[in-house]
Structure formats: C-alpha cells, structure tokens
Amino acid sequence: MNFFQFIGTQRSGSNLFRLMLNEFDGVYAPHPPHLLKTFYPILSKYQNLNDDVNLQKLIEDMLKWIHNNPVRWNNVPSYSELFESLNKRSLFEIFRLLYTTNAIKENKNKFWCCKSLFNLKFYNLKEFKSLNPIYIYIYRDGRDVASSFKNASIGDKQIYFLAKQWQSDQMICKKIKDNTSDYNFFSVKYEDLLIYPRKILKRFCEKYDITYNDDFLNYYKSEESKLTSSSGSLWKNLSKPIISNNKGKYKTELSSNEIKIFESLNYESLKLLGYNVDNELSNLIKNFTSEKIEEFVMLNKEIKENLSKKRDNKELELRRRQELILNKSIN
C-alpha cells in the first residue's frame, strides 16, 4: 500500500484536499492525530522497544491518543492486531500500521494518506524515508495563511513569527522537492484548487493510477467532512462547497505594516511561487533589531493568551485528555 504525505504550512487547504482525496476508491485519508509529532520527541521515555512491556505501553498510548483525537477514527485496531502485524519494533512502523490497518478495514487498500504537515520535519530520517512517501505539497499565498492564523485557535499570532514559519516551511518543502523523484512529489497551488479542482484532481488521478470521478466535489456532504467541520471552529468551512473566492483576504485583514513585514521576510519565496508582491523591494525592511523582535515576542504571547480563552470547549476537553495521556507517559 502506497503512502501520501502532505507537506506545507497549515491553513493552506490541506484539509480540503484531504477530504477530496478521501472520496476516491482506494484512498484512505483520515483526519491526522499527529502521531509522529507527538510521540517522536518523547520516544526515549519508552526506552528499549525490544522489551514487550515498553512496546505495549507505546502502542497503547498511541491508541488512546487516537481515541481522543478531535476528529474520531472509525475501526481503530486493537493492541493485539498491531502487535501481531509488526514487521519491526519502531514508532514509524506502528505509525504505518495504524493507518494501513484502518485503511484495509475501510476497504481502501491502495493508498493511505497522512495530513500531518509537521511530518516534513522527518523527511531526512532513515526510518521515515523507508516508508517511501509520495509528497503532496500544498501551498497558498503566505499573506493569506498569516491572515487565517491570526483568527485561528492554533499557531502564532504576530505577523513576524507567522512570516518566519511560512518561510521555514517553504524552504524545507523546496529541499524535499529537489531531492525527490518526480513521481514522489505532487504540487498543489491552493488558489488553483479553488478554481480548477477537476483539472488538478484529474492530473493527480492520472499520475497515481486512481480511478477518477466527479464525486470528490461532494466532499462536503461526506460523513468525514461533517465530523471534521463539527469538531472545531478551525474546520467550519469544510461543511460547505468550494469557496472559490477564498483568496486575497489579507489585503483587508492585514495592515499595510503587517504586509510589509511579511514581504520583507518572504519577497523571494512569494515571487518564486507565482505571487505578486505589494511592496517595492527597495521599500522593504532589511533588518529587524533585537529590540523590535522582543517587542514582537511580547505581543505574540499576549494575543495567544487572549485567544486561548475563547477556544471551543469541546475541542479543549479533547486536547486536555490528550495532554493527560502525554503527561502520564512522560512521568
């Protein structure tokens, strides 16, 4: 079974494209519980996985994590199912099995898809490479990404840090593209997806030998879409058809100074990806002083604290349960 891995920056349409792919026969594309992002940093706490007790603890914690994911998975395998199917005792093997076992139960046994964009951080790890990922790089005008993040319950809020994150993500994605075969890399421009969804999905299906049909346009009617959109304000638009004019909002939602800061850090990246830049290169900020960056840090912290008080209670409760699982594992 082949593996699709999304890369890019959040708030760039990856959930939209995931739900479209999930409508095709043979493609399993569930909402991501961010397993590698969560468990890789604390993997040493489980010690030697050749010990059955340690391995069982890791698998059980990952299963608990999935059961408390904001968007639930159906047909989650049991510990015994996973243990008996392991080819090797590793986090990446458990990660693979969790997806593939579920995919088979859902009668989608050609491709499994992970939308956890954080996984781009693992692209150079031998164990991740062994999964032979086919990368789906979805990108969006970074200024619109920043605008979306400012109103979201996740991520940074101050424009300097939003610009730095987008810059970092695009650089890693370019590096992955430069070191990946053409077959194992597919690029999707979010703004094109809004206008030419059939064209993009036909090209995708042709490249990966997937039977194409127009059912993907009804993604918003699917059970997976309803589950996702009802699980938090982040995904409310997923219960609607494609919003073809969902672009260029930064022009009214960001101040002229915020646009200038973003473009100062990302002038070349924006141009390289085909976006027009509002400011002349000569008018952009060449350097940010340490005092100015410290000011940005304090503002970012203040905005995040204020927004955290407004988060959806249902989502907060599920996140709290997941944090308890992690805390028990670490301790």
Give yes or no for residue 311 having a pLDDT over 80: no
For domain 2-330, say whether CATH 3.50.50.60 is its number.
no
Would the CA dihedral through 92, 183, 169, 29 be positive or negative? negative
Six-digit token pair at 22? 């999930």
Q: Could you give the residue ranges of the DSSP H alpha helices within 106-218?
A: 126-129, 142-150, 159-178, 190-195, 197-207
End-to-end Cα, the chain, rounded Å? 36
Distance CA 88, CA 57 (A): 16
Average pLDDT along the chain: 94
Q: Where are the domains of the chain?
A: 2-330
pLDDT, tens digit, 9 for 90 and up, residues 1-34? 999 999 999 999 999 999 999 999 999 999 999 9
Of residues 198 and 311, more confidence is placed in 198
Distance CA 119, CA 10 (A): 12
Confirm if 138 and 17 have CB atoms less than 8 A apart: yes
Q: CA 132, 136, 141: angle at the middle one, nearest 5?
A: 150
Cβ-based burial of 95 (10 A; exposed 0-12, middle 13-18, buried ≥19): buried
Give yes or no for residue 312 having a pLDDT over 70: no
Lowest mean pLDDT among 10-14, 101-105, 153-157, 326-330: 326-330
pLDDT above 90 covers a percentage of the chain that reads: 84
pLDDT, tens digit, 9 for 90 and up, residues 131-146? 999 999 999 999 999 9
